[in-house]
Structure formats: structure tokens, C-alpha cells
Amino acid sequence: METLARAKALLPRLVAWRRHLHQHPELSFEEWETQRFLLQELEKLPGVRVRKAAQTGVIADLVTHPAGPWVGLRADMDALPLSEVEGRPYRSTRPGVMHACGHDAHMAMLLGAAHLLWESRASWRGGIRLLFQPGEEKAPGGASLLLAEGVLDEVPLRALWGLHVTPQLRVGLVGLREGPFMAASDEIHLRLRGPGGHAAYPHLTPDPIAVGAFLITQLQMVVSRASDPRSPTVLSFGQFQAGSAPNILPAEAYLAGTLRTFDESWRQKARTLIQAIVTETARLWQLQAEVTFQPGYPVLVNDPTLTQLTRRWLEALLGAEAIQTLPLWLSSEDFAFYSQVVPACFIRLGTGDDTYPPSLRPVHTADFDIAEEALAIGAAVLTEVALQGLAYWGQQLQSPRGNT
């Protein structure tokens, strides 16, 4: 409870940090001003080692005993190409760019955790690596860049936690799930090409619009008849672009969508099926087809042992009734890359209340917002898992049996 009380005392600074970042959003891999702000704030903590990484990211190390255990905490940094609704005093100052997924809150909470951990540095042994990661919203994702730079290889991390605001949960609640949690996601880009022609003579000219519309429904058979219904799969198309006039059959149609899966073997098989269906359907209707898959993020897997420990520690911090078990999540997160190489746990933080119900302010919309009292809870959650993790693995290092 001490951690929570200290975090609540920090709330005015958390709100100020979050609102500053909210007013100055930057798109994926363009977070230069955000990087400068984070560096400026982190460098106020004497002894914290800070550096740039992954173009616009920031790495900060808090170390009391280098030979002790190491744990990591991560926050994402980028905003989305949306125009925020009018009327908020902390509204985005950049037209067409908005923190509509809560990354401003994630950074503020990790800054808060950095301060809380630094202030209590005499009470813990080991090292804590803070990852302020750019480009979560744009594949291949900033996580893959940080991994390529070796940021998880430089220190012996025992665990890595990430946190995401969740308006579907009320303030004070935290959501966890062991094992597979969030879906793998791949982008699908389709082009159908023909000669084009007059709309009055469809029998003389292949019609890429009609074939594209047919494919949108036909490809759902991949989900309904080829996939195991016990493993969720979602195939959605969000773009269909074609034509220049009502009386012209266009020479080209472009479609783009996403495939979301929870099984890597099925993920590859589904891509093969989609490729075959599009190619053969286009050939049947005398069109040329081009199918391109842009690999996205893998399945995010919460390490079962780490998640069980996290649940225990957060129940002690917030109360057992505050910890919710969540269902599978069909959205994707590049935190999944970390979960493939280090024991990882991704936490969902409740940010909804009567003022900010999820039905009115969901993520990725122009009206998104959070109840800001959740910032203190998030900072406390990040601080507590780091402290408890260091204590837990510190005891293992001191055990005569070593790491068992």
C-alpha cells in the first residue's frame, strides 16, 4: 500500500506529464520532440543512465547493484493520425495527430515509476531497465528495432512488463491473462487488374469491383470453414478503392485488410489459402491478381509463471477484487516481440468511469480520453511489479541452490 500512496501523491505531476505529451503528439518513428522531453525529465534523476535507441526511443537504467537481478518496464510513445474532438483544455496542438491509444498516459506512468523507484533506491538491489519505445502503431514496430539493437541482450532481464490503458475496465481494476493473450496480425493487400471498359458492356470487360466484392465475402470461408473454431480468427477488410466514374469499369481495384490469429501454424496456412483463393478467382474472371502480405506482430504470450506472480503482487497492492481475468484480445501489440525472447507480462489498466465510459470514448477514436486518476494506479502497478520482481529474484540469487 505504501507504493500506491506514494503514487497518488505524485498524481499532479503525472497529470502534467500526460497532458504535455497529449498536446504534442507525434506519429510513429517521428517522436523526436517526445524523445527530447523524456530525456529532459529522466536526466533530472541523478545517476540514471539514459540514452537514445531505435531512432526516436529512449532507454533508461536505474541500477543499485549491477550483479543483482534485472527487470524491465516498457511504455510506447507514438500517436495516431486522427483529429481530436474540440473542447478539451489539453487538446492536441497538432492538426490530424492525436494520442488516441493512451501512449501519452503510458509514458507518464513510466516516468512516474522511474521517480518512485529512484526515490526508493536504497531499499532495492539490482537493475531496472526502462524502455520508452517508438512506433508501436506501425509495423514492423519499434519493439523489433529495439530487439535488433540488442537492448534485451545487454542486461540479464528476468522479466519484462508492459501496461495498456483500457476503457472497458473501470478505474481501479487491472486485467491479466496467462498464456496467449493478444492476436497475431498480418496486413493483406490485394490488387485486381484488367483492361477497363464501359459500364454498359460488362460482358466485354472483366470487372475488378465485382470480383473484389465477391472476394470479400468468399474469403470469409477461410475463417468459417478452414480454421479450427476453437482458435479465434478474424479477417477484416478496411479499404476498397476503385473507379473514377459511375459509367466506367475500372482497370484496377485495391483492397486491404487484416488477418488476426492465435496459432502460428494456422497463421501460415491461412495466408496460403487466401493467396490461392484470390489468384484462382481472379484467373476465373480474367483478371490479374497481386497478393501481398505485410507481416505484423506475433501472438502476445504472457508467461504463465510471471503472470501468476504478477497477480499475487497486484492483489496485495490493490486487493484481490481489483484483479480481473480477461478473455482473449483480438487486437495486436508489438509487445508480443518481447514475449518471444524474455518472460513477459502485459497488463491492462482500467481507465473508464461514469465520465469516460468505453461506449463513448474507445481507443483509436477522435473522442478517446481517460479518467486521469488511473495514472497513479498505473505508476504504482509498474513500480510494485519491479520492486517485487527484484526482491523475488534477489532471494533466488542468494539461495544456496541458486536459480531453481
Q: How many whole angstroms separate alpha carbon 331 and alpha carbon 228?
A: 19
What are the backbone dihedrals phi and psi of residue 111, each rounded to the nearest 5 degrees, phi first?
Answer: -60, -40
Please name which of 267, 268, 283, 277 lies closest in space to residue 216, comparing C-alpha atoms. Answer: 277
CA distance 364 to 234: 18
Q: Count the neighbouring beta carbons within 10 Å of the beta carbon of residue 162.
A: 27
Could you give the domains of the chain?
Answer: 2-183+299-398 (3.40.630.10), 185-295 (3.30.70.360)
Predicted local distance difference test score (pLDDT) of residue 256: 98
Tell me the torsion sign for CA atoms 82, 86, 92, 96. Answer: positive
CB 190 within 8 A of CB 256: yes
Spatial distance between the Cα atoms of 140 and 161, rounded to a whole number of angstroms: 20
> What pLDDT is recorded for position 1?
60
Q: d(Cα 122, Cα 164) in Å, to the nearest integer?
A: 29
List residues bridging with 293 in a β-sheet.
Answer: 188
User: C-alpha grid cell for residue 46?
Assistant: 541523478
Q: Which ranges of the chain have pLDDT less than 50? A: 402-404
Spatial distance between the Cα atoms of 272 and 279, rounded to a whole number of angstroms: 11
pLDDT at 355: 75
- Which grid coordinates are listed for 325? 481475468
Chain mean pLDDT for the chain: 95
Q: Is the peptide bond before 295 cis (omega within 30 degrees of 0)?
A: no
Q: How many CA atoms lie within 13 A of 201 on its CB side?
A: 6
| DSSP class per residue in 240-260 | EEE-SSTTEE-SEEEEEEEEE
pTM here is 0.92
Given CA atoms 60, 64, 68, 69 in this order, what sign does their dihedral have? negative
Q: What is the spatial distance between Cα 26 and Cα 390, in angstroms, rounded to a whole number?
A: 34
pLDDT digits (tens, 9 = 90+) for 113-125: 999 999 999 999 9
